[in-house]
Amino acid sequence: MQAYLILANGTVLTGNSIGAVGTTIGEVVFATGMVGFQETLTDPSYYGQIITQTYPLIGNYGMNREDLESDRIWCRGYIVREACTTPSNFRSQLTLDAFLKEQNIIGIEGIDTRSLTRTLREHGVMNGAITTEFDPNTDRARLAALMEEILNYSVIGAVAAVSCTAPQTFEPTGGVAEGETPLHIALLDLGCKNNIVRCLRKRGCKVTVLPGGTTAAELAALHADGLMLSNGPGDPAENVDIIRNIAEMLDSGIPAFGICLGHQLTALAAGARTRKMKYGHRGANQPATDLIDGRTYITSQNHGYAVMGETLPAGVGRVTHVNANDKSCEGITYTKWNCFTVQFHPEANGGPKDTEYLFDRFLANVRAAKGVG
């Protein structure tokens, strides 16, 4: 069955349908990872977006139930050059096409994803639609109606859509000595990936995942030892109430660590500003330079907004990491609060793990604040 990708600039690309049939609208973005496609699909940070994979063959090692970053696909559509129909991996349980169908996600293959990526790099991410319901090259009336929807589409209410609705507690899976009381970490779910929970649990932490709208008073009642601020989707500045809550939480002195959206919301709580990027950073090969030791790490990232490091008020904190390509802010350590944040994903299951040591740094801060070794 044929499928069509329609961009807000009027471009129409013809390909073949994968996954579900129908019509979907979203913000078309590109991700550069060679692997980690199932982690990408199930990352809540892609809420409201149509993902273009720049690597030409996707699905060659299949899908499994163990490596999902959440319990569902959050993106609104999927674009690949070629979807592998014969995956080869002993852990594979179903094909990419079957997984998309199961999750009712509309996809398209067989288009020139290299050309599409160049368009998005040159002109910036833009809204678009995938449809299997009509041929936009011949049905101009339906195309005009769909174009109006495409142009009016925006990603709003993203955190509320992906966050959990009730607290959940997970016990540690390792790292706790006999007779030792595990550290209790509160994880504010702004669109949390499962591997953040795994990284904390394997280090001996009891983790309570909290809804994104949790207040400072509700956090205080939990008597947690530390606070983790997760990744998530959407425009960070939209989350006015959450930003205020985070400021109150951090004012309490609780040791905190923020990732991705958590990094952006903390900066906004401190008085800095954020901006929408032309095409963002999405993939497992983004270089982030640590300004303290001069070392550059290859990191996994997924964001379309960035903190404007120069807007961080004096005396509040300092920028500690920048992207080696475009020099955008990638990390901040705060002097106002017992907190540090990074834009990249140190927990990335489908990407490099060179920066996973940041979890150890966070837990060292938690133990120091608690007065334990």
- The type of residue at 99 is F
According to DSSP, the residues that pair with 147 across neighbouring strands are none
Identify whether the C-beta of residue 256 lies closer than 8 Å to the C-beta of residue 368.
no
Active site residue 347: yes
Identify whether the C-beta of residue 240 lies closer than 8 Å to the C-beta of residue 213.
no
Query: In angstroms, rounded to a whole number, what is the distance separating the alpha carbons of residues 293 and 295?
Result: 6
- The separation between CA 112 and the C-alpha centre of its own chain, rounded to angstroms, equals 25
Intervals of the chain under pLDDT 50 = none
CA distances for 372 relative to 27, 133, 182, 253, angstroms: 47, 62, 11, 17
Residues in the chain, how many?
373
Active site residue 164: no
Given this model, what pLDDT does residue 175 score?
82
**Residue closest to 53 by CA, chosen among 131, 112, 130:** 112
User: Which one of the listed residues 192, 205, 260, 329 is annotated catalytic?
Assistant: 260
Find the Cα–Cα–Cα–Cα dihedral 324, 325, 327, 330, rounded to 10°. -60
Query: In angstroms, rounded to a whole number, what is the distance separating the alpha carbons of residues 44 and 234?
Result: 10
Handedness of CA 34, 38, 39, 43 (dihedral sign): positive
Identify whether the C-beta of residue 274 lies closer than 8 Å to the C-beta of residue 236.
yes
C-alpha triplet 118, 124, 130: angle, nearest 5°: 75
CB proximity list for 276: less than 8 A, separation 6 or greater:
235, 304, 305
Pick the CATH number of 2-155 from 3.90.960.10, 1.10.3470.10, 3.50.30.20, 2.40.30.10: 3.50.30.20
Domain ranges of the chain: 2-155, 160-370
User: Which one of the listed residues 27, 109, 330, 347 is annotated catalytic?
Assistant: 347
Query: In angstroms, rounded to a whole number, what is the distance separating the alpha carbons of residues 59 and 44?
Result: 20
Active site residue 345: yes
**Residue closest to 36 by CA, chosen among 356, 357, 355, 345:** 345
Three-class DSSP category at 285: strand
According to DSSP, the residues that pair with 30 across neighbouring strands are 52
Q: 10 Å Cβ neighbour count for 360?
A: 11
> What tokens does 288 get?
């982030």
SS3 of the chain: helix, strand, coil, percent, to 5: 25, 35, 40
Superfamily (CATH) of domain 160-370: Class I glutamine amidotransferase (GATase) domain (3.40.50.880)
> Whole-model pTM?
0.96
